[in-house]
Amino acid sequence: EFYGKGAPYNALVGKDSTRGVAKMSLDPADLTHDITGLTEEELKSLDDIFNNVYKAKYPIVGYTSRRILNEDGSPNLDFKPEDQPHFDIKDEF
């Protein structure tokens, strides 16, 4: 009901919207993984939202292609779920 077609947070679906979440923004320019230039307050907000909302409410079911694929589309052989920020594999599985 929140993320489906026409729902309030549908703009966040299918992409790494980290910046938008930190800024509490659905502006298309903010719907990116890039956190460059975020304030300390925005970074703290992002951390709080991730840990107290997303991680507490939703299981991790996958990763965005930016993490698991190289720019040319080949597999990122260095990708390890246990090395991802804010991710403790023991908490999820």
If you ran DSSP here, which 8-state letter would residue 88 be given? -
The whole-angstrom separation of Cα 65 and Cα 67 is 5
Cα torsion 31, 61, 76, 45: sign: positive
Q: Within a domain: residue 4?
A: no
Measured distance CA(86)–CA(93) in Å, rounded: 15
3 state SS for 23-87: HCCCCHHHCCCCCCCCCHHHHHHHHHHHHHHHHHHCCCCCCCHHHHECCCCCECCCCCHHHCCCC
Counting the structural domains of the chain, the total is 1
Considering the domain boundaries, does residue 55 fall inside one?
A: yes
**pLDDT higher at 75 or 32:** 32
- Domain carrying residue 46: 10-82
Within a domain: 93: no
| 92 occurs within a structural domain | no
Residue 92's pLDDT band, with cuts at 50, 70 and 90, is very low
Q: What are phi and psi of 69, to 5 degrees?
A: -120, 150
Residue 14: inside a domain: yes
pTM: 0.63
5 assigned to some structural domain: no
Predicted confidence (pLDDT) per residue in 52-81, tens digit: 988 888 877 766 666 677 778 787 788 777
Average pLDDT, the chain: 80
